[in-house]
Amino acid sequence: MTTAVRSSSVELRDIHVSFGTLEVLRGVDLRVASGKTTCVIGPSGSGKSTLLRCVNRLQEPDSGDLLLDGESVIRSDPDALRQRVGMVFQHFNLFGHRSVLDNIVLPLRSVKKLGKEEAVEIARAHLAEVGLADKAPYRPSALSGGQQQRVAIARALAMDPEVMLFDEATSALDPELVKGVLNLMAGLAERGLTLIVVTHEMGFARSVADEVAFMDAGRIVEQGQPARIFDEPQSPRLQRFLSQVL
Ligand code: ADP
Ligand code: MG
């Protein structure tokens, strides 16, 4: 991983999201400085995925503001925003009927409007970076879950994002495949990409995150450096959560 990255700060201000009468995000403020990593932890249903989806506006907030690099992007073109903010999902979301190489080439052509040769060159470079150069011609189903997730990461990185979002990227993987993906994510953090990582991997959060945010019932209840969050949790809710997961 040697490519220089251009990363941006991200800021969410007083974000509210409801589904019908269910208020899922109840005024969330989050700031991640450029090049830093924030891990978001918390119980199932607390709003972590919804929060992440607000950052690239897959979910449009009912109110609140979203700033990238200090500028509001809450009313900008969402497709332009999604080129700047890449996302990796639990279930990879690869095109099953296309080759691994095409999975990376097609968005480069359709979204970035690159010519075929340039798109293929960039795609091959990113596949090589995640250690999968030899898998280019295969369908995703011929790869392990860990390899498929690395393809999904390569696809997101090929768009040259300023921010990357990971939503439980290792939760669907067999235990022996988790480490390879976490190592890749740690490499991105080290390279200075801005990352927001929803994860159940507390070891990763402790060792890689600059900050950890604990969510419960649609709010960030507590936030701070990993050692503070894990060793000196203040709120009873975080204490209870940690006693269940550690
Ligand atoms: P987490 O990722 O922390 O498990 P989510 O953000 O996925 O939490 O969900 C928070 C709450 O919002 C849950 O109660 C979930 O059922 C609800 N929810 C999420 N997405 C939708 C949706 N599109 N429509 C209705 N309810 C939703
Ligand atoms: Mg979720």
Ligand 1 site-directed mutation target among 12, 15, 16, 19, most atoms within 8 Å of CB: 19
In a domain, 118, yes or no: no
Give the number of domains in the chain: 1
Provide mean pLDDT across the span 165-182: 96
How confident is the model at residue 22, as a pLDDT? 97
For residue 139, is it within any domain? no
Domain that holds residue 176: 10-94+162-243
| Cβ 47 under 6 angstroms from ligand 1 | yes
Measured from the CB, is residue 59 less than 6 Å from ligand 1?
no
Any atom of ligand 1 within 6 Å of the Cβ of 46: yes
pLDDT digits (tens, 9 = 90+) for 9-49: 999 999 999 999 999 999 999 999 999 999 999 999 999 99
pLDDT of the residue at 5: 79
Query: At residue 132, what is the residue type?
Result: L
Atom of ligand 1 nearest to the CA of 43: 3
- State the average pLDDT over residues 145-163: 97
40 found inside a domain: yes
Task: Tell me the CA–centroid distance for residue 48 and ligand 1, in Å.
Answer: 8
Query: pLDDT (tens digit, 9 = 90+) per residue, 59-101?
Result: 999 999 999 999 999 999 999 999 999 999 999 999 999 999 9
Would the CB of 19 count as within 6 Å of ligand 1? yes
pLDDT, one tens digit per residue, over 188-244 is: 999 999 999 999 999 999 999 999 999 999 999 999 999 999 999 999 999 999 999
Measured by CA distance, the residue closest to atom 12 of ligand 1 is 24
Q: What pTM was computed for the model? A: 0.97
- The answer to whether residue 151 is domain-embedded is no
* CA 45 to centroid of ligand 2, rounded, Å: 7
Instruction: Write out the two tokens for 61.
Output: 């907030």
Indicate whether 110 belongs to any domain. no
Which CATH number goes with the domain that contains 89?
A: 3.40.50.300
**How many C-beta atoms surround the C-beta of residue 228 within 10 A?**
14
Share of the chain above pLDDT 90, in %: 97
For residue 220, the model assigns a pLDDT of 98
Amino acid of residue 39:
C
- Determine if ligand 1 sits within 6 Å of the CB of residue 45: yes
Considering the domain boundaries, does residue 106 fall inside one? no
C-alpha 36 – ligand 1 centre gap (Å): 26
99 lies in some domain: no
Residue nearest to atom 16 of ligand 1 (CA): 45
In a domain, 74, yes or no: yes
pLDDT value, residue 133: 97
CB 15 near ligand 1, within 6 Å: no
| Angstrom distance (rounded) from CA 170 to CA 152 | 12
| Residue 37 in contact with ligand 1 by CB distance below 6 A | no
Q: How far is the CA of 240 from the centre of ligand 1 (A)?
A: 21
Share of the chain above pLDDT 70, in %: 98
